[in-house]
């Protein structure tokens, strides 16, 4: 990994932030238009083109779901159930905070209710790996929120099959429908609807470049959760930490793909050199080392800052998806972090564990969006329903103030709608 002395945080951030690819936009746009026009036949065309799968039925039958269960061991089902139950506990706790309210002010009654979105589509990636854990992370918050229709889409392999564990996870978590379709064509189907796949109100879940671009393009008509790009891991560490832990954590997240963004921020040159040496030693021995080597070489770095303040400033500017704080007093650093998707405290809280079994959600903001939102949660599947009622006497009391506002804004008929009721 590159070891860089940071003298100016702002200039350094501008240099190291990954550039977002633009080349695929026209391809994605053509896919979206084709699916909108030709529906299922366009989906089958793209699945054959991208995965070599010849697909007849897009939706999985109950027999296929049952068959998936027969191929999954009890231990794997237990793992899904444990992850599911821990996330359910977290999301239920969040939902319990959302209490309906009635506000009475001078005869005006306003009610605020928290109601679930009616339908959502959960995109579950495939391709470079399989992600049954992403099923849990997207379906469970929707289920806890009370969403009535939860659709899962996931790309098939060349045989037209979805990974059995992904199917089992979707069924155990309560998905209503499962479809074998991936890529931009899946996003198009969820947004526009086809004969086989009815459109949804919101699309959630991570994906590759085509999926992310497609979500961005359809967001004008269908709500989305976020534009989740390649995995990001930032680590703040001091000289007290075992460098091997840091190396293992950087490797764990960089194995996702060639374009992950993983880095260490420290004030210790000795730690920086130790971590780099260990990564070099391990990189030839580990599985998926093609992804790890490419990603850490092309996008990774070790930043050596002048002081703790610069470490915090750099982390807040980069706003990583995951931020591990591995220092003598992690809580002191954490109290000054404002922009990360997920903060993990201490030497024994690796981001890889949070991806599966700590009860937190691994669908997190990337590309700096940690500055304005956190992980996917029950809040993404709930909207505030507002109802209001008033009376003529209330309108009379506010009439002169209405006239002031409507005159100032040049909208006289707004005032007439009130005046006509109180004359």
Q: Which residues are catalytic?
A: 321-322
Q: Which two tokens stand for residue 207?
A: 């994906």
Instruction: Give exposure, 227-247, as e/b (b: 16+ Cβ within 10 Å).
Output: bbbbbbbbbbbbeebebebbb
CA dist., res. 116 & res. 402, Å (int): 34
Give one DSSP letter per residue of 113-168, joined into a string: EEEE-SEEEEE---TTS--HHHHHHHHHHHHHHT-SEEEEEE---TTS---HHHHH
How many CB atoms sit inside 10 A of residue 378's CB?
A: 26
Of 180, 66, 54, 67, residue with least CA distance to 123: 180
State the pairing for strand pair 232-237/202-204: unpaired
d(CA 268, CA 305): 8
Do the Cβ atoms of 124 and 157 come closer than 8 Å?
A: no
Name the H helices within 6-155: 9-16, 25-38, 40-51, 62-70, 74-97, 132-145
Place of tokens 């026209």: 26
Contacts of 38 (CB under 8 A, 6+ apart): none
Q: How far is CA 309 from the centre of its chain?
A: 29
Those residues whose C-beta lies under 8 Å from the C-beta of residue 97, and which sit 6 or more positions away, are none
Q: Compute the distance between CA of residue 37 and CA of residue 18 in angstroms, rounded to an integer.
A: 35
Q: Check if the beta carbon of residue 201 is closer than 8 Å to that of residue 120.
A: yes
Task: Count other C-beta atoms under 10 Å from residue 292's C-beta.
Answer: 25
Burial label, 331 (beta-carbon count in 10 A; 0-12, 13-18, 19+): exposed
């Amino acid at each position: 990994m590159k070891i860089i002395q940071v003298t100016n945080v702002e200039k350094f951030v501008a240099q190291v932030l990954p550039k977002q690819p633009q080349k695929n936009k026209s391809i994605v746009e053509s896919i979206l238009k084709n699916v909108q026009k030709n529906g299922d036949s366009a989906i089958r065309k793209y699945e054959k083109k991208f995965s070599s799968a010849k697909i007849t039925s897009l939706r999985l039958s109950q027999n296929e779901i049952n068959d998936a269960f027969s191929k999954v061991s009890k231990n794997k089902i237990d793992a899904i159930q444990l992850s599911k139950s821990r996330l359910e506990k977290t999301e239920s706790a969040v939902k319990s905070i959302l209490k309906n309210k009635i506000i009475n002010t001078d005869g005006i009654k306003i009610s605020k209710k928290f109601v679930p979105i009616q339908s959502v589509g959960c995109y579950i990636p495939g391709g470079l790996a399989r992600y049954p854990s992403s099923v849990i992370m997207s379906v469970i918050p929707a289920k806890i929120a009370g969403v009535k229709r939860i659709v899962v889409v996931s790309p098939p392999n060349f045989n037209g099959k979805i990974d059995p564990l992904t199917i089992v996870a979707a069924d155990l978590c309560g998905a209503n429908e499962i479809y074998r379709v991936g890529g931009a064509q899946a996003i198009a189907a969820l947004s526009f609807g086809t004969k086989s796949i009815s459109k949804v109100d919101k699309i959630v879940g991570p994906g590759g470049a085509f999926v992310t671009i497609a979500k961005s393009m359809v967001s004008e008509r269908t709500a989305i959760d976020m534009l989740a790009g390649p995995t990001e891991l930032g680590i703040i560490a001091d000289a007290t930490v075992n460098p091997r832990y840091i190396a293992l954590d950087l490797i764990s997240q960089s194995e996702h793909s060639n374009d992950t963004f993983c880095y260490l921020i420290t004030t210790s040159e000795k730690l920086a050199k130790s971590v780099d040496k260990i990564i070099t030693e391990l990189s030839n021995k580990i599985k998926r080392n093609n992804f790890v080597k490419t990603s850490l070489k092309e996008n990774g770095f070790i930043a050596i800052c002048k002081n703790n303040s610069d470490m915090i400033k750099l982390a807040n500017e980069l706003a990583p998806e995951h931020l591990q704080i591995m220092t003598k007093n992690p809580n002191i650093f954490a109290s000054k972090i404002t922009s990360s998707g997920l903060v993990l405290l201490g030497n024994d809280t690796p981001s890889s564990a949070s991806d599966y079994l700590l009860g937190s959600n691994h669908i997190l903001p990337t590309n700096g969006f940690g500055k304005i939102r956190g992980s996917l949660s029950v809040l993404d599947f709930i909207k505030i329903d507002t109802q209001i009622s008033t009376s003529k006497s209330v309108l009379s009391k506010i009439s002169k103030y209405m006239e002031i506002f409507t005159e100032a804004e040049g909208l006289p008929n707004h005032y007439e709608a009130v005046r006509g009721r109180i004359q």
